[in-house]
Amino acid sequence: MKFAKLRLSGFKSFVEPTELLIREGLTGVVGPNGCGKSNLLEALRWVMGESSARSLRVAAGGAGMDDVIFAGTAKRPSRDLAEVRLMLDNRARRAPAEFNADEEIEVSRAIVRGEGSTYSLNGREVRLKDVQLLFADAATGAHSPALVSQGRVAAIISAKPQERRQLLEEAAGISGLNVRRREAELRLKAADSNIVRLDDVMQTSEAQAQGLRRQAKSAQRYRDLSDRIRAAEAALLRLQWAAAIEALQQAERELRAADATLAEAVQAAARAATAQADAAAGIPAKRQAEAALAATVQRLTTERATLLAERQGLVKRLQDLQQALDNAASDSDRERARARDSAATQARLAEELEGQLAVKAEAEQAIAPQAIEVRSSEQATTDAERGLATAVEAHAALVAEARSVRAQAEAARGRSERLEGERRRLVAELERLKAGGNGAQLDQQLAEAEAQLAARTQEAEAAAEAIAVAEGEAQAARAAADVVERALAAARTEVASLEAEAAALDRLKTSKQAPAQAAARAAISAVSGYEAAAAAALGDDLNAALGAPEKPARHWLLVAGQPDDPALPPGCMALAGQVTAPAELARRLSQVGVVDSAPDTAMLKALKPGQRLVSRDGWLWRWDGFVAPPGGQATAVAEALAQGNRRREIAGMLEAPRARLKAAEAELAGQKDALAKAQAAERQARGSRSEAERLKDQLQGRLQGLRAAQAQAAARASAMEASIERLSAEGASAAAESEQAAAAIAALPDATKAAEAVASARSSAERSRAVLAQARAQAAGLERNLAESAARIARLQRELADWQARDRDAAATTEALAARVEKLTTERAALVAEPDALDARLLILDREIGTAEAERATAAEAVMAAELSQSDLDRAARAADVRVADGREARATLVARTEQLREKVAELVADARERFGIPPADLDAPDGEAPALLEQRLHNMRAERERIGVVNLRADIELAEIEAVLAEQARERQELETAINRLRGSIGTLNREGRARLMAAFAEVDAHFRELFVTLFGGGSAELTMVESDDPLEAGLEIRAQPPGKKLQSLSLLSGGEQALTAVALIFALFRTNPAPICVLDEVDAPLDDANVERFTRLLQHMADTTDTRFLIVTHNAVTMAAMHRLYGVTMGEPGVSQLVSVELREAEQLVAA
């Protein structure tokens, strides 16, 4: 692929769409500093996938990659979009397969502010990775060594050997391999993490499965108990509904009685309200008369308060007028004193102003003659300095010519000696290289390395076979361990289930027995199947204690059987034979018979007093005719007996599972030991293979290094022979230049007379300068005095004007004070008699107020008497109202109670329909069981269900799901193991290929570097060496150089110019090894002198002629510009906006020649 065209729009300073044609040969980019030349290189790197904003010279702490978008100027707004397009010529069909059908490939990258970048190839959106791989496969990219930005040369010089290895990797074209290897390593690490995580997940899933198996059994017990609870709840609901119906009927009867009582109370309240209204009708007239008199008293009182306030205001005003008269007199005295002070000050200022005007006039007369003298001195000084400059210039020209000629002679002589010494050193070194015999030694080392490599290969193959055997053994041990673990888990589950059931039965037995009851109930047991019969026979009597208790309570005493105790009827079996009980219960059990079905009438009549019959399902027939079906308290006793039997059965059942559990644990321990041994053997075999592979890779690297060293020796000898021939020719040329410089020295003129003329002119110029300085000082002094005098005059004039203004203000103030005194005196005389008139009016008002208050008191007593009578009637009416309210409250309470009972009945009906689908009347009523006993039995069953704890009713479904998940996880683990083995093989292959290509590139780069160093320096030698590791993929790249006339040394010990030229040689050596489609050099020639620039441009021209690479050079050097085939100029006619213009130099030369 060939780079054809770069198009920018909105990128940095290129706001308008700009095209840069990239043609064959050398293309130069020139322009002033800061005009945006380097932005072209950065645009090229950006479109090729550069992801670091800092490497694009974006300011730290800014908006990141958004800063490449045009930010705006004083005249142009900022943009929100930047786009760069790169056109590639693919007529040679060297692009990746998916793009090889196109003759042109367009790579585009666009960025929208705040949204990030998008990439496309031929209009199809792709990933950043796809763009980077496209250019990496073409031996270029955003970090290619062929893109040399500003500071790149300095970075190569200061880089560590490990960092320089990246340059060699780019030249070897293994950047894509490195990317793929890193991806494979990341995938391998992720796969290892996944398999560890999957093992943890599988262990968790297996634990969940064990828990779900236990939960499934608990769920089944929960369902059975819930069915029994539902039946008991239905019976209790039937009883509650019947009780609510009865309570509702009673409440309705009480409500009818309350309605009659309320009617009587309402009639009495109406009679009391009529009497209250008649008494209240006469009160408003009395209150109105009393209110009119009270208003009169209030009016007179208000008027008196107003007169008092008015008199106080007059007295205050008279006092204020007298104070104002006193203040006006004081102000008049102060203004007269100020007038006297102002007259004295004005006289003093007028006298001082007259003196300053005289001083100013004298200074103005003296300035004009002094200015003429200064101009005359300046002219004389200028003439003297002009003569001095002419003499100095003539003398300097003679000295510079002499120095230049002598320097040329010295340089020619030194160059001739240096070239001769370099030629002798190379001849000697070449002879030592040919006589050293290194070739045979390298051949021997190569043979040894190949033999060792074959041995390590056999060891790696043997280790691989051992791994396969160990993996098979480990797999077999793992499968056997899995079988044992499953058997162990089954045994543990069985034991845990039985133990949990036994513990639950123990807890249930403890919770149902009170301390006093524990003896009787705990001491009895029945044969399996006879629990209900024993419970029917004994019933609630089992709750009694054995023996006489400390406090009075129900208990069993030991009463032995008597010979005359009646025998049971024929056809039944004594219950005592099926029940194990203490001696206190023996006589009772001996009088209880067990029948298989309901007894006939004859058998019932044959029962003696105290005898009873029971069936195995819990029916009871007593000697006195009482019959009880199964249920009630007997059911709880039967359950307790059945639970005791189950507890003993479980104790026997646990022996076999516990034995199997112990045997499985022992077998599992043995299988785990076998598995551990197999895994240890596998790890040892893998370690042996890894060590063999590592030694094998090292030997391959060493073998490639020896082969490269053999090639280096041959290349070095060839380079030395070429250098010796070139040094001989250059030495002859340097000797001729030395002879020409010696002849020029002899012809130089004498510079003594020119030096004397310079001394004379310098003395005359110094005298003129002294005279000029004295005249300027005197003129400055006169001007300073004149300025000071003018400033004083202005200040005095301002002060005199200020005092005159103060006089005018004082006269106006005095006149205003006189007018104010006259006005205040007139107002005071008019107000003096007013307070006495107000005092007379206040006496009259006091008499009128006394009369009005007496009349108001008489009217108030009449109102009070009427209100007392009204109060008695109000109390009687309120008492009647209270009785009505009490009746209504009682009725409301009964109404609310009735409604509540109706709602309760409705709720019970709705509850029955919702829970059981039928009304309460259709529910089965309990057979004689009291509600309290029913509630107690329901409470016990609910408590038993609560003790089961949280139950997962979906345990069966979840168990099936988790077992399916376990199977899927096992399959995924097998796939992960296969992928890990495949990735490890791929990484090894990539490492071997990378080493081979890297060593081949190293040999080629080293040969090119040696040749280019000699070409650029005109002699000397240089070499590249691998350091810090025997593995080429981890070794660093060290540069050692020997410029002409110096010894071989590290790059960091060379001078700045030598370092720059050496780095340029390395850059071009890398480029020769793996030529890129484009090479960009940004001001690489900046640190080079003119001679080295010429060598640099000749090398550029040679590489442009011998390769298909297109060169783009950013430069300020005129020599470099002259070597270009075409030039692009970057200008900034508008601040912050770059523009691009082009000149085709070859076409221009042809036009000039025509």
pLDDT score for 515: 44
What is the structure's pLDDT at 514?
42
Determine contact, residues 619/628, Cβ cutoff 8 Å.
yes
Phi then psi dihedrals of residue 305, to 5 deg: -65, -35
Rounded average pLDDT over 780-809: 78
- Mean per-residue pLDDT of the chain: 78
Question: Cα dihedral sign for 1045, 1050, 1051, 1053?
Answer: negative
Share of the chain above pLDDT 70, in %: 87
Q: How is residue 624 annotated by DSSP?
A: T
Do the beta carbons of residue 489 and residue 213 sit within 8 Å? Answer: no
* DSSP reduced 3-state for 538: helix
**pLDDT of 110:** 94
Distance in angstroms (rounded) separating the CA atoms of residues 426 and 1017: 15
Cβ within 8 Å of residue 637, ≥6 positions away: 521, 534, 535, 538, 539, 540, 542
Question: CB-based burial of residue 36 (10 Å sphere; 0-12 exposed, 13-18 middle, 19+ buried)?
Answer: buried
Q: What is the rounded distance in angstroms from the CA atom of residue 973 to the CA atom of residue 944?
A: 45
Q: Which of 524, 517, 521, 648 is nearest to 589 (CA)?
A: 524
What is the model's pLDDT at position 6?
92
Sign of CA dihedral 400, 406, 409, 412: negative
Residue 582 confidence (pLDDT) above 60: yes
Query: Quick one: average pLDDT of 632-648?
Result: 67
Report how far apart, in Å, the C-alpha atoms of 1141 and of each of 95, 211, 1138 are.
31, 80, 10
Q: Is 1128 helix (H, G, I), strand (E, B) or coil?
A: strand
Section 599-618 average pLDDT = 86
Cα atoms found within 13 Å of the Cα of residue 1010, Cβ hemisphere only: 23
Residue with tokens 């009871």: 620
Q: Is the pLDDT of residue 705 over 70?
A: no
Segment 724-740 mean pLDDT: 73
Q: Please answer whether residues 635 and 618 qualify as being in contact, where contact means their C-beta atoms are separated by less than 8 angstroms.
A: yes
Q: What is the pLDDT of residues 132-189, one digit of tens each?
A: 888 877 778 887 778 887 677 777 888 888 877 877 777 777 766 666 777 777 888 8
- Residue 767: per-residue pLDDT: 78
- State in Å, rounded, how far the first CA of the chain is from the last one: 36
Amino acid identity at 41: L
Q: Which of 142-146, 305-309, 504-508, 1068-1072 has the lowest mean pLDDT?
A: 504-508
- Please give the pLDDT value at position 922: 80
Report helix, strand or coil for 183: helix
Q: What is the pLDDT of residue 407?
A: 66
Assess whether pLDDT exceeds 90 at residue 118. yes
Q: Is the pLDDT of residue 108 over 90?
A: yes
Q: Is the dihedral of CA 992, 995, 996, 997 positive or negative?
A: positive
d(CA 108, CA 126): 10
Instruction: Select the more confidently predicted residue: 279 or 248.
Output: 248
Asked if residue 33 has pLDDT above 60, the reply is yes
Tell me the sheet residues that pair with 1128: 29, 1142
pLDDT 10s digits, 409-440? 776 777 777 777 777 777 777 777 666 545 56
| Distance in angstroms (rounded) separating the CA atoms of residues 113 and 69 | 7
Task: Please tell me which residue, 905 or 46, carries the higher pLDDT value.
Answer: 46
Q: How far apart are CA 109 and CA 56, in angstroms?
A: 15
How high is the pLDDT of residue 441?
63
Strand partners, 108: 85, 120
Q: What is the pLDDT of residues 463-484, one digit of tens each?
A: 777 777 777 777 777 777 777 7
pLDDT tens-place string over residues 1013-1059 = 888 888 888 988 888 777 777 788 888 898 888 888 888 888 877 88
Question: Is residue 983 classed exposed, middle or buried when 0-12, 13-18 and 19+ CB atoms within 10 A define those classes?
Answer: buried
Write out the two tokens for 118: 């998008």
Summarize pLDDT for 797-813 with one digit per residue, the tens.
887 788 778 777 777 77
Distance in angstroms (rounded) separating the CA atoms of residues 142 and 1017: 30
Find the mean pLDDT for residues 81-87: 93
pLDDT for 1152:
46
Cα–Cα distance measured from residue 837 to residue 829, given in angstroms and rounded to the nearest whole number: 15
More confident: 508 or 828: 828
- pLDDT value for 87: 92
Whether the predicted pLDDT of 1085 surpasses 90: no
Q: Is the pLDDT of residue 518 over 60?
A: no
* pLDDT confidence of residue 7: 93
Do the bridges between strand 25-30 and strand 1110-1114 make them parallel or antiparallel, or are there none, so unpaired?
A: parallel
pLDDT > 90? residue 954: no
Instruction: Tell me how far the alpha carbon of residue 32 is from its chain's centroid.
Output: 44
pLDDT at 651: 75
C-alpha–C-alpha distance, residues 210 and 959, integer Å: 9
pLDDT given at position 707: 65
Q: Which of 278-287, 556-565, 963-972 has the highest mean pLDDT?
A: 963-972
Q: Which comes out higher in pLDDT, residue 169 or 1146? A: 169
